Amino acid sequence: MKILRSVVLASCFVFGGSVGAQQAKAPVAMEYDAGVCGEQDFMALHVVVSGDKLIINAIATGPKNAHKTPDDVWKFVKADAAGFHFVEDVEGVKYELIVRQDKKDIEGLLYADGKKVAKFYGHVADGKTLQESGAILYQMCLEMWESPSGSPVNKS
């Protein structure tokens, strides 16, 4: 009986550890055109979520200025019930982007030093249509600004 109990206990430790490791895995590799809608500003980005990083490699801040940028790499730190967490420090500000993604869409929230500052949302894209995607994503941001709450940050 002691042997059976030991085998069961050992298998719980072995398999329990692998289940925990699976839950902490980084997200599946995908590309998206995404909007970042803050209290009074907007930008469109092309992002690649791949393994342990999120890479921003194109940006559009207006109707006719989408352009490639040097890769801006955000580091994957954890996965939990809220989503996948990516972080980057810029000029002393700690940014955290928490996203959920699937084969069609990505959405989440952007924090700066722990304060929610923007809604993040988008769709699968190869980066070739960022200009057109940006216009659509901007319209969605305008709708959030015009909503009764008046703030995309209040929308989860």
Per-residue pLDDT at 5 exceeds 60: no
Rg of the Cα atoms in the chain = 19
Of the pLDDT bands very low, low, confident and very high (cuts 50, 70, 90), residue 24 is low
CATH level 3 topology of 26-154? Lipocalin (2.40.128)
- Both tokens assigned to 105: 């869409």
Max CA separation in the chain (angstroms): 74
- Both tokens assigned to 34: 């995404």
Q: Report how far residue 127's alpha carbon sits from residue 130's, in angstroms, rounded to the nearest whole number.
A: 5
Percentage of residues of the chain with pLDDT beyond 90: 65
Q: Report how far residue 128's alpha carbon sits from residue 38's, in angstroms, rounded to the nearest whole number.
A: 24
Query: Which residues, 6+ apart, have CB-to-CB distance to 93 below 8 Å?
Result: 112, 113
- Both tokens assigned to 13: 């430790």
User: Where do the structural domains in the chain lie, given as residue ranges?
Assistant: 26-154
**Ordered DSSP codes for 7-19:** HHHHHHHHHHHHH
Q: Report how far residue 100's alpha carbon sits from residue 28's, in angstroms, rounded to the nearest whole number.
A: 11
Of the pLDDT bands very low, low, confident and very high (cuts 50, 70, 90), residue 22 is very low
Percentage of residues of the chain with pLDDT beyond 70: 79
pLDDT digits (tens, 9 = 90+) for 55-73: 999 999 876 788 999 999 9
Residue 115 vs residue 21, higher pLDDT: 115
